[in-house]
Structure formats: structure tokens, C-alpha cells
A and B are shown apart, each in its own frame.
Chain A
Amino acid sequence: MNTVELTRDERAVRQTSGPVLGMVIFVASEAMFFATFFGAYFTIYSVNPVWPPAGFPRLEPGLATVLTVVLVASSVTLQVGVRAIRRDRTRAMLVWLGLTILLGAGFLGLQLYDYSLLGFGVRDGIFGSLFYVMTGLHMAHVFGGVVFLVLVLAQGLGGQLTHAHHDSMEAGSIYWHFVDLVWICLFITFYVVGLS
């Protein structure tokens, strides 16, 4: 190996941030976790002749569309916050981050409200099992994300985040976008595909 290759190798090593790389790998793991549930969903979907099975209503996408808009909007606000801290505009970042947290909390509240409107439960058949376990685990992830972002906000309020040092914000945003993406997959699976 010559000097050029050596330098390239070492530069690649030093230019990645540990927490960001760690979060990317962790998100890959989470992707396998949710992929398993989607695999289970479509396996069961394919062995059942009628879908949704008898006794289950076709899900109305109205409120779920609002949920989708809220979560996608929260991804946008978070990314604007990330861009702000990259330019060292800490105050702007705090505002956008706070807004993201509010949207996340709003998503959780709205989804619980949505649950209360549905006329079926987890014990009413396989469709109920899949729906509540998959969306419930996603909700747990949104909750975890909100907690993470609140901790980042606390760091920011304590003046610990600068444009040179904000790995927690970058890592948090990667996680948050992933959770958003999972919701979009859930929305398509349960509300859009179910419509036809």
C-alpha cells in the first residue's frame, strides 16, 4: 500500500463522527426489526383469502393522513434545525427543535385518539394483532425519539451545542427521519393498500 492510499484510508477514518456512524448502524438494525413485522404482515396477508379478514372495517385514511402530515412536517422542521446548527445559529436551532418535539408529541396524542375511534382491538383477530403491534411499536419508537430530542434540547439550552460539536443533534435527526419513514410504510400498508 502506497502513501496516497494510506492517507486516504486514515482521512476516511477521522472524518466520520462516531455517534453519527453508530446511529446509522443502529438504524440499520432497527430497519431489520421493522422489516420482520412487514414480512410477517405480508406472509399472513398472502395466506388469508379475504383482507382485511371478515369482521374488520376497512381503515379510513382521514386521521391517518393528518398523522402522516404531522410526522413528515416534524422531519422537515428537524432538518431545518440541523441546518441552523451547522451554520452556528443556535437560537434558530432551538426553536426548530422545540417545534419538532411538539409535533412529535402531537403525533403521539393524535394516534392515541385514533386508537380510541377504531372499533376493534388486538384480540379481535389477526388484523387487529398486526395493526396494534406494528403501529404500537412504531409509537414506542416515536416516544423514544421525543425523549432523545428533549435531551438534545436540554444540551442546546445548556449551551453545549455548536456548529463544530453537535453530534447528538445529527444522530437524533437520523433516527427521527427513520422513524418517519417507518410510519410512511405503515401508512401505505394499512391505509393505502387496504383501500383497493
Chain B
Amino acid sequence: MAMLRIVAIVAVLCAAAVIGAIALEWRSAIDPVTRPDLKSFTTAQIKLGAQLAALGDCNTCHTAPGSRPFAGGVGVPTPFGTIYSTNISPDEDTGIGRWSETAFRRALREGVDREGRQLYPAFPYEHFTLLSDDDIAALYAFLMTRDGVRATAPANALAFPFNIRPLVAGWKLMFLREGPYQPIASANDDWNRGAYLVEGVAHCGACHTPRNALGAEMVERKFAGGEVEGWTAYALNDASPAPVPWISQALLDYLRNGWQSDHGIARGPMAPVIDNLAAAPDADLQAMTYYMTGAFGEPSAERRRAAEALLIHVYRSESEPQPASASPQDPGARIYQAACASCHDNGRPLPYGGINLALSTGPSGPNARNVINVVLRGLPLASGERSPIMPGFANVLSDEQLAQLLVYIRSRFSDKPVWSNIDSDIRAARSAHVAITSEHGTDAAGRAVSQHEAQR
């Protein structure tokens, strides 16, 4: 009986909390407006909005492959089911064409749509809330001047009770700190600008920060790494597994070009991010780099020494003739030698050459997932764009052969202990729909990429 009373009290308290949360977070509908026309906005505003939308990667979540831009319909897998992105084109019936700027601002700041419904945090408004009013106005100007597309996203496929939208109110109470961004007085302007962009519109933590059981980012472990659609988003703090620490120039080059000689190529979900960043001004990328360099932290002397030794070793092996090696005995080594070495050991510079795997973060990562994805599916070409092409080996490697290869790669190209979960990671990768996008070249500015550019 006592037990029942406790359960009853807890249930009532929960219900009260829930009702209280819903009440606190309840928002009314904002009246629809006539769709604003092009002349309501200045060119400067629209341009700024375009840059912010690029930094925010809006089109990646809100444009389904093969569909018109911003029409929504992209399924975002979450531990709670699949959520489909909405149509944010200015279509009046199926998009946001009749949203006022106030309604738009409220959605970004508070996570509520025009009609007052809670928005699922798959839309990362806990980041977008940091945006300033002016920037939100610019984004509004940009979206309102796109082509309106008539399209309705599929209904979300969420398990109970997550399909009860009002319950998001509770989540928000716990995890949403409304913006806009408040600069930190003790930091300089560049840092604050970088923080504003990274934590706000660029929402890097949405992929690169681990999440708790309720799907919220664990802010105390910011940038400690995350998982996105079958890929590992590496840690961007002092736990970064990159064999060569990310110094600011390297990071800036990577964000600008999508590749960096000592680290590798952005593929998987990072590829569209980089492609969008091509439209971002240099000053913004520099500020973000400045901020992230702080996040990575100063590498220890030991780590720096190891990296230098590694780079020297790699340069030497690429510039001096290698004696013909005897055929290896280890099965993973034999597979590597036969299938991988001809591209990955030939010294051709990035972005078109296969990276020397000792420099790639993949083999040193917390799990084998990224390496598996790339080995199985390769790096598909970007149509009409200069970009690396790597063939996939899914159709010729058995799971056993792949596991042997992974064990070898891990032991030869990193100093980390063996990966656990290789077999289950392979099974998951084979069966999952893993996003490897193929629209994004590595020659974002259309410049010639010099073989000599990459000489260290």
C-alpha cells in the first residue's frame, strides 16, 4: 500500500511537472501574414541571410536529395524514431510563406512554430536561439526570397511517448537556454565572434557533442564527439584522436577547402557542411577557427613530438624509393597490400590522392565506423566537380575479410588499442543507409588545386 501511495504521489508530481511545463512553454498561434515580396528586403540583408544559411547548413536538412531546395522531407534518424524536416520554402500553404518575421524569430529562439506547436529539437534551436535579431531578420529575408515549393513532409515516425509533441515542453525546460548570445567580457572580439557562430548558427556541437538519454547535448562534455547517421563525428576538444593536432591554419584550410593534407577529406555528413561553407566569408571562418583552436586546446609537448615524428616518417617514406616488400603473411596486411596500397602508399598529394592512413583520423578514432563506411562505399564522385574518387569494396570484401583489414589498419596506422565492436559495427554499416553524399567537390572555389600546394 505504501508502495502504491508513493507511486501515486510520484505520478501526480510528474503529471504536475508535465502540465506545468506545458503551461510554461505554451505559446499561442501568431497570425499568418501575406507572403512578403522581394522588395521588402534589401540586397544586403538577403546576401547576409545567404551567408548565414550557408553557415547554418539549412539546405542539407531541409532539402531531400533530388528535390527542390528547402522543400523539406529529409528523414533525420534519432534514437526515438525518424523526424522529417519541414518545408521552409516560402510556399504559402505548405511552407513558411505566411510566417511573419516574428513567428520566424520565435521558431529559432524558442522552438515553436507559427501555430504555437512545439518543434522537435532535431531542429537545433538550442543553438539557433543564440542568433541576434539582425541575423534572424537576414535569414528571414533569405528564405522568403527563395522559390516557393509546394511539398508536405511525411509524418514523423516516432515511438510513444515521443510522438506527443507537447511533451517537448519538458525537454525545453530542462535543456533550452534562450538567446541571443551574450558575449563574454573577458574574451576578445574574435573569440566572441567565433563562439557566436560556432555555438549559434553553425551548431557544430549538434554533431560533435555527445547526447544524453533524452537526446540533449551534454554541455559539460562539449565537443567530446558524437554520432551522426552511422558516422562518428570526432571529438573537437583535447580528446581529438587526430594523429596530427589541428593547428588553426590546418583547420581553416579544411573548413575552406574540405580537405587538409595532414588530416584527410571531409566526407559523410561533413561534406555538405563544407560545401555550404564555401559561401561563408573568410572572416567568419577565421573567427570560427580561432574559437575552435581554443576548444581543441594546446596539444601537449608529447603529442606534438609524436606528430612531428610521424610527419617526418611520412615525408620520408613518400620521397624515398621503397624496397619491394615481401608478401605479408597477416591476412589483413595482404588485403591492404593488394587492394589499398597502390593508392594509399603512392604519395600522391591530397585531395585526389589516397591519404597516407597514418595521418588520417579514421584509424585512430574511437571506433571503426568511419573507416568501415569509406572502405565499403568508397568516396563517390561529385558530379561535374573536381573531387577525389575512391571505389567502394562492399561487393568484394566479406565481413571476415573486412574485419581482418580493420584490425591491420588499426594496428599499423595508430598507436591505440584494438577496436571493440568491429563485427557489430560492420553489420550495422552493411545494413544501414549510410549517407555518403556525392554532390560536393573539393575544388569549392573552382581554383586549380596544385600538386605543389600540398608540399609540406
A binds B: no
Binding site for B on A (CB under 8 A): none
Q: B interface vs A, CB < 8 Å?
A: none
